[in-house]
Structure 1
């Protein structure tokens, strides 16, 4: 049997929709509503209480051969419909959004007396022609209207019955109705959020860098809000291109809310559609579209962040309000260079880092006062493993300080400066000051928490693990952050191995995880397993000095002397082509048990300011040297607490 469908007039609340003429009236007054929004309303009214999918709406609104940005067009049509109805995506009365599925009409279809004021007795208030399977025989059933008096009596009677039923449903919580009916009255409680990768709707894959950059920027803007936990870019980017249900993603990231949306870029305009979903209920709390010229895209990002903060009723400090409001226009070409720089910076290969520095440099040439580009270059130099630590940090510090002269509130620049003061200059007081300033400016900056935790570990403080674990909460799917070092410290190697294996589940080709596993198996005395893991790390890293050194150390302690000596020879040859930290050579000699040579190279490492030296006090591999007076002398030269 065919489903009856309205084909004439439908009334709800104070509105009357004439489905034949395509007209919408409010209290009898015609409201201007374009054809496409009215078509959306028609489909929803034809299926009240049912989900109408986005695909069904697209098919209705646009023929198959139409070339248009369907998502943006549909979002626009729904927004215009809601505007006409005075409806809201956050607290819908008529049109409810179901995340990643479609829309549903949730209003009550009923009497039309309030839509045109008070009708005269006997005048039809709602005439709906229902066409059933009998229509093939020419039979049309018309539902007659009731008189005004009878109608009012019927309404009061129905209202009494419904009220009594509602009391029973809520009182006895039949079918969890109490929870459902009271859900809308419950205040929004979102204190943690993830911004999923925005979709690139430009149709040009080459614009992915721009869309990813917009995601990154929105994460950064929201991360400045101290009362909100914001998941870092690294973790959210793992959901790029996936179609997992939002509640599942929220559970994996342990957040209350999800932001998703899309970006369309042209030469003249940038348009961003964004929406906020409550994870537990899959309910839309806020949605909006923003459009600006490319030069004002930074202002657009701040507007979106402020709107989200307002939607979730989060408290902003005066400093945070000022920070979000002070965004300024930027040269579009400079901003594009900056986004390309960040895009390659996030890849973290040596070739990609060189590209990122080149793009940051072009951004600075285009706009010499672009503080973010200087901060980006500082970040890039810090992770350049092919440079000596002196060269890395001299350039990184110079860029960070220029950035801070232009904008003292850049957490990235403070963090880059802090890492150099910590790992290269051994300026403990200055490093701690800069780490704390970075975290104060951006409480959700995972790398600031990670590096500050490492600093505290080097200083011998007991609470260092809490800082690193905080970084892990902010970036739960990071391959590098929160690797379980606290378990290594306490000798709980199996628990550290479990964490490392989970990293490998995220990326089976991550060389750092094999390096970590190899080290852990070595500490457990499982040398055969350690060598197998370390060899994988060497292969995947392209023979990086750190991986080679760890393999050489394990060969040494497992009494494979010839193999360890071969690693030393490789490191010597490699040092003629690129920078090899002196510490890595010293480590192989420690494994071989040649203390004098180990101390000789550790002395050279001190002169070289090799990064691992800041952890010398607690390094497990150095246990055989600690009783030697030369070890205490090294700690004294570095300035580490003993």
Structure 2
């Protein structure tokens, strides 16, 4: 079935969404949800039905968060404003309906002709996925003869292509691994395709001298039907690896092709058939690719044994981590370590989860930080050459120990082991920010964005904001929001920047849009109402009441509550909350120098004592301090900006 609405075309048979004939990147869950909503022709689809249809076969999944994330990504792709929707209408607490007029077209099913590999026919082998099940016995001799002939043709053409490559073509020094297609016919196996893409990328970087584009950078091309030369140009690479993976029962079949981007010619292709108990598949394929490009490292790193069940759990955790669902990954990383206690990568994943949960203010640091320290220490002890282990230890030094110097040492070690990982550069930017090393922070942020533009889009704006360069921050965020107008992290950063700049009307509007992006139109409306009645102070009091109520049910960072009290100029509760945050070892304390809301406390002995105990450089606090009054006492500015 094919649906058309506004400038979009949704082809269910091809599992493809197009805008003005251009294919759009959309992950599987949001795509399935879009098909479900559009097919109901304006009828309400309940959240319970969505959970049952899209997540019934999965375990350890927070379906509420999953639905909200899928809706948010759909709205980002459709550029649909949740406050004034043109496509997806929210029925608060119940479900959703698709409200745009839809034209339904019947779909003519044509026999699917196998797609020939790119490049010239006489130099390009045709590689078809090997069947997992045994072939039929009819005409058995003919089948065997044809298979042997095909193998000879494949061998000859590959050798010819290899000869031409070595004779005339320039050397390939940079490579991108495009997301592997999941051909299992089972959407629950999507994590396997994503996990193998990640492992293949990591292993090629580890076993070769090639410059490898990070996984997060290439994920935008998942399912994209675009010329490889165009994709390679955008990624700045000379070679592309593409392929597919399928799992049937206890068998895994993976097909890979190595392609030169400038000539669109095939260099190498191979199919791998393995039992699911073989966890070394990605490493074997990576070494083959490195050999084809004469870039293999002299000594390949020893492949450690990994229990297949532990590996499977780990891949599920990594899939959630890279799918904007990091806080759902913990059960899988935990399960992997329980199945195989000496699995270093799983311990690193678990440590990263605890660190992320603390920074996000989702868990009590007194509970999570000892677990983070234990997990990162186990990862390092088990494999001192694992980049992820050093990355996890760097996070532990910064988040759990407030020790940026040792954190920097560890993250530099991680970068030396895996220089293609954009997350490491982004984390080092955080370390430099805490140490108030502005130029290095900006340089690292730009590097992280270059390597993973989607994942690290807010980084530069956030850094400008933390250095109180608000106009520069807003200019950068404006560019990022044009590409992703409903990205919640970008919206949050913009709201914070406007608040710190004291552009209160725009800050209130940004806060309402942020709640809308999280599919909460009721609270978005309450924020707008509060501002209309009492200006920014009313919005701050509403936020303070909102998070104080949440504090009765779950952990809420005392630093967040202190910020609201500081905005209102309430000295005593602000200091009390900051001292409580110190007692709990809340990570947010490391960033109080960046927020002008706390400037009015500079002369307070309790605040000065707190800064010294935290270990923040005094020059960092003083250099960023701008004289300002609390918003309640600045009546003139409030009256002007709240109109």
* TM-score, with structure 2 as normaliser: 0.66
Task: Name the structure 2 match of 1:598.
Answer: 574
1:209 aligns with 2:186: no
Partner of 1:485: 462
| Matches for 1:509-528 after TM superposition, within 5 Å | 509-528=486-505
Query: How far apart, CA to CA, are the structure 2 residues paired with 1:52 and 1:215?
Result: 24
The 1:333/1:220 distance shift into structure 2, 3 A limit, reads same
1:579 counterpart residue number? 555
Q: Is the 8 A contact 1:364 1:374 kept in 2?
A: yes
| Structure 2 residues not aligned, in runs of 5+ | 1-113, 131-137, 139-145, 619-643
Q: 1:629 to 1:54 in 2, by over 3 A?
A: same
CA shift in 2, pair 1:75/1:224, >3 Å: farther
1:330 maps to what in 2? 306
Question: What displacement does 1:206 show?
Answer: 2.2
Q: Kindly indicate whether the alpha-carbon contact (under 8 Å) linking 2:123 and 2:160 is maintained by their aligned counterparts in 1.
A: no
Residues 515 and 537 of structure 1 are in contact (CA less than 8 Å); yes or no, is this contact kept in structure 2?
yes
* CA distance 1:436–1:212, shift in 2 (3 Å): same
Aligned-partner SS, 1:265? strand
Partner of 1:83: 155
Distance verdict in 2 for CA 1:52–1:332, change over 3 Å:
closer
Structure 1 CA distance for aligned equivalents of residues 464 and 149 of structure 2 = 55
Contact 1:90 1:287 in 2 (8 A): no
Match of 2:349 among 363, 376, 382: 376
Q: 1:518: how far off?
A: 1.3
- Cα distance in 2, alignment partners of residues 398 and 281 from structure 1: 50
Find the counterpart in structure 1 of residue 170 from structure 2.
187
Structure 1 position 524, deviation (Å): 4.0
CA shift in 2, pair 1:439/1:57, >3 Å: closer
1:607 equivalent to 2:609? Answer: no
Matching residue of 1:99: none
CA contact (8 A) 2:344 2:383 kept: yes
Secondary structure of 1:289 counterpart:
strand
SS at match of 2:594: coil
Alpha carbons of structure 1 residues 468 and 79: separation in structure 2 relative to 1, 3 Å: farther
Over residues 311-336 of structure 1, what are the superposed CA-to-partner deviations in whole Å (9 max), with x where a residue is unaligned? 334363x5xx332xx11443322222
1:564 equivalent in structure 2: 540
Partner of 1:11: none
Shift of 1:521: 2.6
CA drift at 1:563: 2.9
Match of 1:340 among 313, 316, 326: 316
Give me the whole-angstrom Cα distance separating, in 1, the residues matched to 2:425 and 2:124. 45
Structure 1 contact 89–284 (Cα < 8 Å) conserved: yes
Residues 1:353 and 2:327 are matched in the alignment: yes
Corresponding residue of 1:144: none
The counterpart of 1:311, out of the listed 292, 297, 305, is 292
| Cα distance change on mapping 1:233 and 1:529 into 2, 3 Å | same
**What secondary structure sits across from 2:273 in the alignment?**
strand
Distance 1:56 1:277, change over 3 A: closer
Give the conservation status (yes or no) of the 8 Å contact 1:91–1:285.
no
Residues 263-412 of structure 1 aligned to structure 2 (within 5 Å): 263-297=245-279, 299-314=280-295, 316=297, 321-323=299-301, 326-349=302-325, 353-354=327-328, 356-384=329-357, 385=360, 386-412=362-388
Deviation at 1:265, TM superposition (A): 2.1
- Check conservation: 1:390, 1:424, Cα contact below 8 A: no
Q: 1:92 to 1:215 in 2, by over 3 A?
A: same
CA 1:315–1:361: 2 relative to 1, 3 Å: closer
After the TM superposition, which of the residue ranges 303-312 and 453-462 deviates more from structure 2?
303-312
Secondary structure in structure 2 of the residue aligned to 1:615: helix
Deviations 1:574-629 (A, max 9, x none): 11111111110111122112234322322222222222221233334444444555
Report whether the alignment pairs 1:232 with 2:214: yes
State the Cα deviation string for residues 461-495 of structure 1 (Å, max 9, x = none).
24222222222222122155634334335655444
Which residue in the other structure is 1:416 paired with? 392
- Cα distance, 1:255–1:565 mapped onto 2, change above 3 Å: same
SS of equivalent residue, structure 2 residue 366: helix
Q: Distance in 2 between matches of 1:222 and 1:428?
A: 31
Q: 1:562 to 1:278 in 2, by over 3 A?
A: same
Q: CA offsets, 1:261-303, max 9 Å, x none? A: 1112233432222122233332333332233222223x22112
User: Could you tell me how far apart the structure 1 residues matched to 2:129 and 2:188 are?
Assistant: 29
Residue 449 in structure 1 maps to residue 431 in structure 2: no
Q: CA deviation at 1:80?
A: 4.1
CA contact (8 A) 2:351 2:373 kept: yes
When residues 294 and 528 of structure 1 are mapped into structure 2, their CA distance, relative to the original with a 3 A threshold, is same
With normalisation by structure 1, the TM-score equals 0.66
Distance 1:426 1:524, change over 3 A: closer
Does the 8 Å CA contact 1:229/1:474 hold for their aligned counterparts?
Answer: no
* Post-superposition CA distance 1:138-194 (Å, at most 9, x none): xxxxxxxxxxxxxxxxxxxxxxxxxxxxxxxxxxxxxxxxxxxxx962431423x22
Structure 1 504/614 Cα, relative in aligned 2: closer, same or farther at 3 Å?
same
Q: Does 1:458 align with 2:434?
A: yes
In 2 relative to 1, CA 395–570 (structure 1 residues): closer, same or farther, beyond 3 Å? same
SS in 1 for 2:593: coil
Aligned equivalent of 1:536, options 496, 513, 522: 513
CA 1:86–1:255: 2 relative to 1, 3 Å: closer
For each residue in 1:487-531, what CA deviation from the matched residue of structure 2 results, as whole angstroms up to 9, or x when unmatched?
335655444334334544554442111111112233444322221
Partner Cα separation in structure 1 for residue 129 and residue 339 of structure 2: 45
Q: 1:419-430 residue pairs with structure 2 within 5 A? A: 419-430=395-406
CA distance in 2: counterparts of 1:531 and 1:389, whole angstroms: 30
Instruction: Provide the aligned length of Structure 1 versus Structure 2.
Output: 479
Cα pair distance change 1:569/1:184, threshold 3 Å: same
Q: Is the partner of 1:260 in helix, strand or coil?
A: strand
Match of 1:634 in 2: 610
Distance in 1, matches of 2:545 and 2:147, equals 63
Alpha-carbon distance between aligned partners in 2 of 1:603 and 1:78, rounded to the nearest angstrom: 74
Contact 2:559 2:588 in 1 (8 A): yes
Gaps of 5+ in 1: 1-39, 59-65, 67-73, 94-182
Answer with 1 or 2: which has the greater Rg: 1
The change in CA–CA distance for 1:577 and 1:490 in structure 2 (over 3 A counts) is closer
Q: Distance in 2 between matches of 1:309 and 1:199?
A: 22
After superposition, the CA RMSD in angstroms is 3.8
After TM superposition, give the deviation of residue 78 of structure 1 in Å: 6.2
